[in-house]
Amino acid sequence: MPNGETNQKNNAPELPLSDPASLARMMRENLELSREILEHTRKTRKYLLFGQILNVVKIVLIIGPIIIALIYLPPLIKQLFGTYSELLGGGTGQTILEGTGFINSIFNKNPAP
């Protein structure tokens, strides 16, 4: 068995190529198979196009919020830390109540006689 050939032969009977009926039949079969292949090719192209579009949508849904967060979060974080540092006494180590003497002013008030 040279070149991996098998003992099985094609089930179709070998007809002479000069027979016009066999040529017409083979051409019809070939045309039918070609149309079927074209239909499958069109379906495959639509499937691949849909997959590419879906990949772009997934990337936008993942990367989009990250970009928006990078644009809008830094000012909000600065504002948050500014407010937080004011509550802690502006970096002096004293809270806002201790730094202004609020508690001392409450306890040191002398009631009117």
User: Which tens digits make up the pLDDT trace of 20-70?
Assistant: 888 899 999 999 999 999 999 999 999 999 999 999 999 999 999 999 988
Q: Per 3-state DSSP, what percentage of the chain is helix, strand, and coil (rounded to 5)? A: 70, 0, 30
pTM score, whole prediction: 0.47
pLDDT tens for each residue of 65-102: 999 988 888 888 888 877 777 666 655 555 555 555 56
Question: What are the structural domain ranges in the chain?
Answer: 19-107
